[in-house]
A and B are shown apart, each in its own frame.
Chain A
Amino acid sequence: MTVIDTVTATAARAPVRLRLVTLDRLRSAALPIGFAAAVLLLWQVAVDIGGYPKVILPAPSDIASALAANFSEICRQAVPTTRDTLAGFCIAAVLGIGLASLLTVNRLLRDAIYPLVIVIQLVPKIAWTPLFIVWAGIGWPSRLTIATFIAFFPIFMAMLAGLESTDGSLVRLCRALTATPWRTFWLVRFPASMPYLFSGLKIGITLSVIGVVVAEFISSSEGLGFFILKSAALLQTDVILAAILVLCLVGLASFGLVHLGELAVRRWRGD
């Protein structure tokens, strides 16, 4: 059969392409690592030769030793930051997905609520942080609320965009097959919106970290944001950068979790 022929022909060409891909992969991995290493090296040499004061520009080695010296303290401060980030993100995800789903199924609710969300979205959301602290105090509830608030919007917007951009002909097919709106939602719209949802979740998780850190900057007695600001007051730039390094790891790890979730969903969808 002709189709089988095509498949076999493609399979025969595969090894050549595979080798090319491997070479390209190697190159695209080596180049950025090399670039980053070069920047670090240049930084170290510049500080060593230029003799900049440690307060202004600590060398990578200074940051490493600051990290080693303050490791247990930094890790202790990282715990509340991570906890509030993830919890805030999860609540935002549930709320964002839920509200977006509700608005796609009910036309009137969508007309009534969506424009308001757009208007609230225009406000620089970081600016609300002090208000939440007034409302919820300086403890973890306010930080959680801020993380939820700031992560909610991209998740909601992405989910709604995904649900509404579902291939019109698929929806028409469902209508022709006499499927109810809820069944159409569950069988077609929801699975079709997954790529959108995950792009929203990825923005949401990075914003969630930012929300928690800003809240810790403004008013807190724990967390990496608090620790960074405290070190800034003591002009310990090397300690600040060490803490930021750990914060980056927290951020990347949370992002990685969302990415893993996306891979799992893709695997389930088989694409």
Chain B
Amino acid sequence: MIPYLFATAMLLIGLYAIVARRNLIKIVIGVAITEYAVNLFLILLGYRAGGIPPILSKGMDLNKFAANSVDPLPQALTVTSIVIGLGVIALLVALVLRLYEKYGTLDESEIKRLKG
């Protein structure tokens, strides 16, 4: 239960930053917080107190290994999602830089050339 509550709370903090902040950089940080909330959640899913690394070496008993090791799949998922997150944040920051060149401000409320 704790990972769920924790991840939801962190996700909401990130969403608050995205919705309430007006500085573009702070919005990007908000996006990063939401991404890391989910990454942390995935890692916590596979966590096991006192677990051993999920690497099967020679001479290990398979049943004992399965009973003690942490779940490796969420770790693989998290590595993938961190890489994706890196690409997303890099593109976002590049967009912010170009926006700053065009508008001369990072204030979201002044970047409003598109009409409803």
**Do A and B interact with each other, yes or no?**
no
